[in-house]
Structure 1
Amino acid sequence: MKIIRHTDPTWQETAAALNRRAEASDAVQEVVSGVIKEVRARGNAAVLEFTERFDGAQLTAESMAISQDELAGSWNLAGPDLLQSLIASHRNVFSFAQKSLRQNWSGTNEQGAQVGEVYHPFERVGCYVPGGSAPLVSTAIMTVTLASAAGVPEIVVCTPCGKDGTVNPGLLAALKLAGATEVYKIGGAQAIAAMAYGTETIRPVAKIFGPGNSFVVEAKRQAFGVVSIDLLPGPSEVLILADRTGNASFIAADILAQAEHGKDSQAGFITDDAALLDKVAAEVDRQCAKLSRQAQLRPVLEKGVFLLLAPSLEEGARLVNAYAPEHLTLITERESDILPLIRTAGAIFLGNDSPVAVGDFLAGPSHTLPTGGAGKSFPGLTVDMFQRRTSIIRLDKASVTLSEPIVRSFATVEGLDAHGESVAIRAR
């Protein structure tokens, strides 16, 4: 762990480094560009080659898809405890999403024209569900459920399989419950390219959703414009801002919960209390020794975990906004003062008794959130991202007559006399 105090000579340098921007390396950009180019040119053949190269799985065009019978059968293989947990999570996420749907509306403007908006679900969307070191059944619930709640009729899911070509039955059960209509056992940048551009097996989608590693996130960025993109959610991260009221054991547990994702995950702790900083550092070491995923935890603790002693909570809030964390835990007796200062967090968990893991699995809002500093520009995933907005405008003789002199003024200054005449001809 890196421990930095505001009295250290490197404090300013460390504080400046927290101001992140989500950007892939040149190497990642080059690899992804090549993958997309090949998938566009060769379709299934390229997807299958990259799946064997990157995931070690030998698939065919026929075995790439998971049948509805296999999805249905997974329900009996997942185990009763997991099924009950999936159902409880799905109820919360679906209910939260329904309350968040955008509603049609109409009214009149000052000239008497009828104006309004109507919302329709996308016809066909793609959801990426990471696999890798663990089957992320929660991500299936947190993405596909929103598409279903929005009324999307065709929900395509891509998720990587194991080297044996299989997908965890618990993940398949989650996808079935959430409402997936097509599931393909492919991952990585090739999966994003397949959903964006289409192959002989996979028809292209209108919008792509979901988190992934740096290659998946970069593929989404490069596909933007060909398809719509939700946001750029990459490796998981948490930042905790606490004063002396923070519980060191709870804080350490949340740091380790994020660190066990492994790879490029990050966890940070900022406090204005020196004693709490020391307690958290000791608790992280103590609790880590008892956990099972040492191979994932140790590299993150060495390179991706930092503890900062700030001069004040206000300065801590400034650092939070610069860092733009995916998850922020705020623990302070001055919550009413500090919370309004936070502007860029993907999700905020308030108080000692609000573990991020409940948000990951159960609370209701989607856990698909911006990472790597993207929270400065993107919100977390919401159900209205699965809806298309269309504006509606209707004028009658009276409203077009009242609009004509205003339109004529704009048309004159912009040199667009045909625009002005198209209104004037109606007003006359």
Structure 2
Amino acid sequence: MQIIRDRDPDFALRLAEACAASSLFDPEIERRTREILDAVRDRGDAALLEFTERFDGARLRADQLAVTDAERMTAALQADPALRNAVREVLRNVTAFARRSKRRNWQMRNSHGAVVGEKFDPFQRVGIYIPGGRAPLISTALMTIPLAKVAGCPEIVVCTPCNREGVIDPALLYAATVAGATEIYRVGGAQAIAAMAYGTATLRPVQKIFGPGNAYVVMAKRLLVGQVAIDLLPGPSEVLVVADDSADPRLAAADMLAQAEHGSGEERVWLVTTSGRVLRAVERELRKQVKALERREWIEKVLEKNTWLIQVRDLESAVAVANRLAPEHCEVHTRQPARVAEGIRTAGALFLGPWSPTVLGDYVAGPSHTLPTGGAGLSFAGLTVDQFQRRTSMVTYDRTALRKALPTVQEMARREGLSAHARSAELRLE
């Protein structure tokens, strides 16, 4: 763990280290990812099969990449009542939230009396990446696929890695199917992103790619912008806890450890507090609580490499640090969390007060847990249903409205030296 205090002479330098960009811009990861993208673009299914064997240990044929209806049915039959109830509850909250935030067509009349507006159409074919690895992220299926379904996307393609036997976790298959996936492929990593972008003989390309992933998945999404649309850059998990002297160190530490356990080793956790006592207590709690956790080995790597405990002068300074970090998740453990949260403008999601741990956003609250990481929150927001909609502006003039607009059109065209622009409007009134 790295501990820095605002009274330290090298505080500014060390704070800059704590705020440094994550693996999102690692040149070595970029080089390796480009190689994978190029291979899939040039060799299609053959490259997918090669990478699946290399990275996941599964030897497959091209006709085994797609999950069959029989496999989906088997997964559904294996789903016990507890899983079914949990999936149903999450879907209820996520779907309700998505319906409220879905954008709708609208019209108005402009100064010429013409009708202008916007229409929102669902993307016809979208791709969703669901991480597998050491933890099959059933929750990600439930935080992404339902948004596509609410938006009305007719083709919802899911890619997720398999195990060495070529099997996808049955609970994940069940959740993805119930949520609305129309196609599922046992392909993971940057190669899955490439396949959805370029297309192969087995997997037709999509219009837009969604979902979180490891450093290579996120790098692939970043490099493929232009070839395909993407949602945002959601990489290894992050959490920042903003705390004053009223915070419970046990809760802060538990929430930090929860986000450190995903297992990539690139997760990042921060505490920013105005209290030296709270900082010391959180440090003790982190060391104490991690000993009892199942994924201790992975969490300790994050504690060693990417955990920062930062003491600042006041809450205003804490808010400034939070905005600089642009964390994926930001918890506010202060006496007046809503007031503090007003100033935090770059977090992917805010969790206010001691009763709102990040895990609720991870699993059940309703907003999607697919959020920007690695500082991308400075310019990206979290996943919302409208990102599955394609916006088109609409313009409808009649003769009267065109005549009213013509003088301005003529003046603008004259100023820009584009006489054909003016002529195209003038012809209609001759």
Amino acid in structure 2 at the alignment position of 1:45? A
Alignment correspondent of 1:385? 387
Amino acid in structure 2 at the alignment position of 1:5? R
Equivalent of 1:369 in 368, 371, 374: 371
Alignment correspondent of 2:176? 175
Amino acid in structure 2 at the alignment position of 1:425? L
Alignment correspondent of 1:288? 290
* Deviation by residue 1:257-283 (Cα, 9 ceiling, x = unmatched): 011112101111011011111111111
Q: 1:413 to 1:42 in 2, by over 3 A?
A: same
Query: 1:376, CA displacement in angstroms?
Result: 0.3
What is the rounded CA distance, in whole Å, between the counterparts of 2:297 and 2:346 in structure 1? 31
Query: 1:79, CA displacement in angstroms?
Result: 2.4
Alignment correspondent of 1:30? 31
Alignment correspondent of 2:139? 138
What is the rounded CA distance, in whole Å, between the counterparts of 2:146 and 2:117 in structure 1? 28
Contact conserved, 2:341 with 2:350, CA < 8 A, in 1? no
Contact conserved, 2:128 with 2:157, CA < 8 A, in 1? yes
What is the rounded CA distance, in whole Å, between the counterparts of 1:11 and 1:94 in structure 2? 45
What is the rounded CA distance, in whole Å, between the counterparts of 2:260 and 2:238 in structure 1? 8
Alignment correspondent of 1:39? 40
Query: 1:222, CA displacement in angstroms?
Result: 1.4
Alignment correspondent of 2:77? 76
The equivalences for 1:62-211 within 5 A come to 62-211=63-212
Query: 1:69, CA displacement in angstroms?
Result: 2.4
Contact conserved, 1:130 with 1:187, CA < 8 A, in 2? yes
Alignment correspondent of 1:4? 4
What is the rounded CA distance, in whole Å, between the counterparts of 2:157 and 2:181 in structure 1? 6
SS in 2 for 1:66: coil
Contact conserved, 2:4 with 2:15, CA < 8 A, in 1? no
Query: 1:5, CA displacement in angstroms?
Result: 1.3
* Deviation by residue 1:70-104 (Cα, 9 ceiling, x = unmatched): 11221221322122111111110011101111000
- The answer to whether 1:404 aligns with 2:406 is yes
Q: 1:417 to 1:21 in 2, by over 3 A?
A: farther
Amino acid in structure 2 at the alignment position of 1:309? Q
What is the rounded CA distance, in whole Å, between the counterparts of 2:84 and 2:290 in structure 1? 29
Amino acid in structure 1 at the alignment position of 2:166? G
* Deviation by residue 1:51-81 (Cα, 9 ceiling, x = unmatched): 1111111111111110122112212213221
Contact conserved, 1:20 with 1:322, CA < 8 A, in 2? no
Amino acid in structure 1 at the alignment position of 2:397? L
- The answer to whether 1:350 aligns with 2:352 is yes
- The answer to whether 1:250 aligns with 2:251 is yes
Query: 1:304, CA displacement in angstroms?
Result: 1.3
SS in 1 for 2:313: coil
SS in 1 for 2:139: helix
What TM-score, normalized to structure 1?
Answer: 0.98
Alignment correspondent of 1:268? 270
Give RMSD over aligned pairs: 1.1
Q: Which runs of 5+ in 2 are unaligned?
A: none
Alignment correspondent of 2:301? 299
Amino acid in structure 2 at the alignment position of 1:227? V
SS in 1 for 2:342: helix
Amino acid in structure 2 at the alignment position of 1:386? F
Query: 1:180, CA displacement in angstroms?
Result: 0.3
Alignment correspondent of 1:324? 326
What is the rounded CA distance, in whole Å, between the counterparts of 1:424 and 1:15 in structure 2? 61
Amino acid in structure 1 at the alignment position of 2:141? A
Query: 1:336, CA displacement in angstroms?
Result: 4.6
Amino acid in structure 1 at the alignment position of 2:277? A
Alignment correspondent of 2:239? 238
Alignment correspondent of 2:16? 16
Q: 1:402 to 1:21 in 2, by over 3 A?
A: farther
Amino acid in structure 2 at the alignment position of 1:316? A
Contact conserved, 2:326 with 2:347, CA < 8 A, in 1? yes
* Deviation by residue 1:331-370 (Cα, 9 ceiling, x = unmatched): 2123354222111000000001101001000000000000
What is the rounded CA distance, in whole Å, between the counterparts of 2:158 and 2:385 in structure 1? 17
SS in 2 for 1:289: helix
Query: 1:21, CA displacement in angstroms?
Result: 4.1
SS in 2 for 1:333: coil
Contact conserved, 1:404 with 1:427, CA < 8 A, in 2? no
Between 298-307 and 331-340, the greater mean CA deviation after superposition: 331-340
Q: Which runs of 5+ in 1 are unaligned?
A: none
Query: 1:15, CA displacement in angstroms?
Result: 2.0
What is the rounded CA distance, in whole Å, between the counterparts of 1:46 and 1:26 in structure 2? 23
Contact conserved, 1:129 with 1:140, CA < 8 A, in 2? yes
Contact conserved, 2:267 with 2:302, CA < 8 A, in 1? yes
Contact conserved, 2:338 with 2:352, CA < 8 A, in 1? no
- How many corresponding residue pairs? 428
Alignment correspondent of 1:218? 219
Alignment correspondent of 1:395? 397
SS in 2 for 1:110: coil
Query: 1:177, CA displacement in angstroms?
Result: 1.1
Contact conserved, 2:40 with 2:195, CA < 8 A, in 1? yes
